Amino acid sequence: MERVLKQGFNIDYSYNIYFTEGIFAPHNKLLSDFFQQRRNPDFKQKVLVVVDSSVWKHHPNLNQELQDYFKDLNDVVLAGPPLVITGGEVCKNDPQALESIVQAIDEYAVDRHSYVFAIGGGAILDLVGYAAAISHRGIRHVRIPTTVLSQNDSGVGVKNSVNYKGKKNFLGTFTPPVAVFNDYSFLATLDKRSWLAGISEAIKVALIKDLDFYNWIQAQVEDLPRRDSQSMKELIYRCADLHLEHIRNGDPFELGSSRPLDFGHWSAHKLEQLSNFEVLHGEAVAIGLAIDVIYSYLIGNLTESEALSVVNLIHQLGLPVYHPILSEVEGKQQLLKGLTEFQEHLGGRLTVVLLEKLGKGRDYHHIDGDYVLQAIDILRDFEKEYNRLDEVS
C-alpha cells in the first residue's frame, strides 16, 4: 500500500540595500540602528569581519574605525580582529581562503544569532557568503560592497559561491544577506580598471530591461570615465534597483533555466578562465555583451547601426570589446565550449538571453557557432580600426 505525506510551505524573506557614505564614521548611525532593531536582549551578538586585502591596504584607518565604532555599541561586539583575505578571483579558487573563514567562525564561536560581515569586492562577498551559509547551516551575513560591480550587481543579490575543478561558481548557495550597505566612500580608492569594469553590468541590465536607463548611460559617456561621483552614484542606484526588481519578481533561486541577468555572461565566464582571471569580471562581461549584441544583429533583431552603437558606447566608456585570446583558433574553440559549461551550470536545455530589441531581452535555446565566430571577427575589425585611428591622431 502506497502512502504519501505532502509538505509545502512559504518563507517570507526581506532585506534592505542601504546607500550611505562613511558607514563606520562616529556620526553615521545607520549600522548602529540596524543592530538596535535586531538586538537580542539576552546576550551580545558577535560580528566577525572579513576584509578584502586591497580594501585593507587602501584604507589604513579601517581597523581603528571598526574598533572605535563597535566599542560604543551596546548590543554587539567584535568577535575578534578582522580577518584579512586576498581579494579578487584568486580567493574563490583557494580552498584555504574558505577554510580560514570557517576556522575563524569556529574559533570565535560565531553562532546563528550573530553575524559575518564581508567588506570587499564581489569575489570576497561570494566567498564569505558561502562560508557563512555552510557554517552551522547558515549564519547571518552582511555585505559591504566596495567596488562599482559589487554595489550595483553581485553584492545586492542572493547568490554565494566559490570556484571548483576550474569551473566558475561550481559550489554555492542561494542565501540572501540580512542587509547590504553600499558605502560610496570606498569607491574613491578604486583604480581606473575597477571603476570602469562595474559599468558593464549597468549596460547589461539596461539593454535587456530599461531603454531609458540605457539612454541615460549614453548621456553620461564622458562623465563616467572622468570619475564623476554623482553620475556613478546614480548608475549604481538604478542598476541595483533593476537587479532587485528582477530577483523580486522573477526566479530568485533560479529553479528554471532562464537567467536574463546573465546576458553576455556565457562567454564572459569562459573568457575569465581562459585569461587565468587576468581579465576582470566586468571587462569580460563587456566583451561578452559586445559578442551577444553583434550576434543579435546577425540574426536580424538589431540593425547594424544599433549594434555598433552599443559596441561604440562600451568602447567610449573605456571597456574592452575584444581580447587577443580570441585571435587564436584554440581560444575561439575554447570560448564556444563555454556554451556547454553554461548549460551544465544552468541545468535543463541551453538558454541564452539575446536582444529582441534595444531595451528588451529574449531567451534563445540555440546558438550558432558560426555566427559567434563571425561576431568575434567583427569586433576584432572594430578594435583594429580604433587602434589605427588612435595611431593616426
Q: What is the pLDDT of residue 58?
A: 96
Give the chain's residues under pLDDT 50: 392-393
Ranges of CATH 1.20.1090.10 domains, the chain: 202-392
CATH of region 202-392, choose from 1.10.357.10, 3.20.20.10, 1.20.1250.20, 1.20.1090.10: 1.20.1090.10
pLDDT at 257: 54
Model pLDDT, residue 1: 80
Name residue, grid cell 557554517: 135
Contact of 151 with 198, CB cutoff 8 Å: yes
| Cα–Cα distance, 351 to 386 (Å, whole number) | 33
Delimit the CATH 3.40.50.1970 region(s) of the chain. 16-189
CB atoms within 10 A of CB 328: 12
Containing 138, the helix (H) or strand (E) segment is: none
Predicted confidence at residue 295, as pLDDT, reads 97
CATH of domain 16-189: 3.40.50.1970
Give the DSSP letter string of 301-318: SS-HHHHHHHHHHHHHTT
Residues 6+ apart with CB under 8 A from 42: none
All residues at 6 or more sequence positions from 11 whose CB lies less than 8 Å from its CB, including other chains: none
- Provide the pLDDT for residue 389: 54
Question: For 328, which DSSP code?
Answer: S
| 3-state SS, residue 80 | coil
pLDDT tens digit string along 340-384? 887 776 667 788 999 999 999 999 999 999 999 999 999 999 988
Residue carrying C-alpha cell 578571483: 89
SS (HEC) of 7-75:
CCCCCCCCCEEEEECCCCCCCCCHHHHHHHHCCCCCCCEEEEEEEEHHHHHHCCCHHHHHHHHHHCCCC
Q: How much is the pLDDT for 256?
A: 61
pLDDT (tens digit per residue) in 203-258: 999 999 999 999 999 999 999 999 999 999 999 999 999 999 888 887 777 766 56
- Predicted pLDDT of residue 393: 47
